[in-house]
Amino acid sequence: RRSGPNDDADYRTPFQIDRDRVLHTPTFRRLQNKTQVFWSGEYDFYRTRLTHSLEVAQIGKSISYWLKSQADGPLGDDFFIDPDLVEAICLSHDLGHPPFGHAGERTLNHLMREHGGFEGNAQTLRLLTERIFSARRSGMDPTRAFLDGVLKYKSLWTELGNQPEHHFIYDSQHTHLDWAMGGNDFPLELTPGKTRDKFKSIECQVMDWADDTAYSLNDLSDSVRAGFLNIEKIEAWAEKNGVEAGEATPLGDLMKSIRRKKVDPFVGKRIGKYIQSTRLETDVNFLSATTNRYRYRLVIDEAVKAESKLFKKLAFEVVFLSPQLKQLEHKGSRMLRQLWEVLGERYISKGTIDGQDFQ
C-alpha cells in the first residue's frame, strides 16, 4: 500500500483487508439497484450488478482453487493465485458502472466528451483511489496487486485520441497506473488501445474470465425466465446465423434444458465446465521477471471460449436488442440527459442551490 505495511496487530492478510473494505462500503451496496439485464423492480428474480458481482467473485475464487489443484500446473505452496485477492478484484469490477447498464455509460461518456470522457472501469479506479473510506479523497488505500487487478484497461483517454467510446482511464489517473506498474514504462510494442489492453495481471485475467462466464451463462437464465428467450427464438436465430442447433451442440443442449425446465442445472454444470477449462502457461514480458503477477497467462480451452462467445452473441442479438429492452435503454438515457441539464444549470452555471451559494 502507499501508506506502508499493514498493522502487525491485524490478523487478516492485506488482500483480505482489501476485500473487506470493498464489501462493507456503501459503494458496493449501491450495485443492488443497478441493472444487469432487466431494470430493477421489473422482475423479482432478476440479476443486478450486485448479484452479478457476487457470482463473479465465487467463480473467480473457484478458478483460483482449480488452478492450484492441478498436479501438473506451476502453482504450489510457494506461489499461488490468492483467492482473497481475486475475490476482492471480482467484487470491485463493476463498482464504477452507472445506472442503466452500458446505455448509461455511453450516454455519460457522450455528455463528458469535452471534459475527459466517462468510463465505468475508470470510474471504478476513481472510487477505489479517491472516494471509498476517505474524507480526504485518498480512497481505500488499496494494495498494488489489487489495484493492478482492477485495471482491465491501461490506456489514457488522450492516448486513444478522437474521444474514445470506452476502454480507457482518465488522464488524471496516470499516477495510479504508474504506481500499479511499479514505475515501469510500457515498451513501445504495447501501443495504447487493444494491444495494451491484452496486458493484464494474472488475477485480472482470472476476473475477466469469471466475468465472461457469469455474463454469458447467467444472463441466459434470466432471459429464459423472463420470456425473452425461448426455443422458437433460439431456433430462428440459429437458422438466420447458420449456427448448428442439433443434438450435442451448445444451442441444442440449451434448448433441451428449456424443454425439461432445467435451465439452472444446465447453467450450473456449464459454469463448472468453464472453470475447469482454464490452465496456466508461463509468459515472458517486461514485468515477468519482476513480479509473479505477470509471470503467467491464463489459457482457456478454445471450444469453451467459442461457446461463451456464442451464448453472448445470442443474448445480445435476441435479448439486449429486443424492442422492450431498447425502449428501457432509451428511457434511461433520457433520464440521465435531463439530470445532466438540471444539475449543470443549477450547480455549475448558477453555482447555487435554492438561492444559496454552492460549496
Taking only the tens place, the pLDDT of each residue in 24-37 is: 999 999 998 876 56
Poorest-pLDDT segment among 9-13, 130-134, 166-170: 130-134
Per-residue pLDDT for 319 more than 70? yes
Does some domain include residue 321? yes
Q: How many helices and strands (H and E) does the chain possess? A: 16, 4
Does some domain include residue 12? no
Rg (CA), the chain: 22
pLDDT averaged over the chain? 89
Does some domain include residue 211? yes
Instruction: Record the pTM.
Output: 0.92
> d(Cα 340, Cα 297) in Å, to the nearest integer?
42
- Identify the domain containing residue 129 by its residue range: 20-349
Domain count, the chain: 1
| Beta bridge pairs of residue 35 | 48
Task: Report the candidate in 309, 148, 278 with the shortest Cα–Cα distance to residue 215.
Answer: 309
Q: Are 98 and 49 in contact (CB under 8 A)?
A: no
Does some domain include residue 7? no
- SS3 (DSSP) at 356: strand
Does some domain include residue 302? yes
Per-residue pLDDT for 209 more than 90? yes
pLDDT in the model for residue 288: 95
Q: Are 197 and 153 in contact (CB under 8 A)?
A: yes
Does some domain include residue 2? no
Q: How confident is the model at residue 134 (pLDDT cuts 50, 70, 90)?
A: low
Does some domain include residue 356? no
CATH assignment of the domain containing 200: 1.10.3210.10
Q: How confident is the model at residue 327 (pLDDT cuts 50, 70, 90)?
A: confident
Per-residue pLDDT for 354 more than 60? no
> d(Cα 104, Cα 288) in Å, to the nearest integer?
37
Buried b / exposed e along 71-88 (16+ C-beta atoms within 10 A): eeeebeeeeebbbbbbbb
Does some domain include residue 6? no
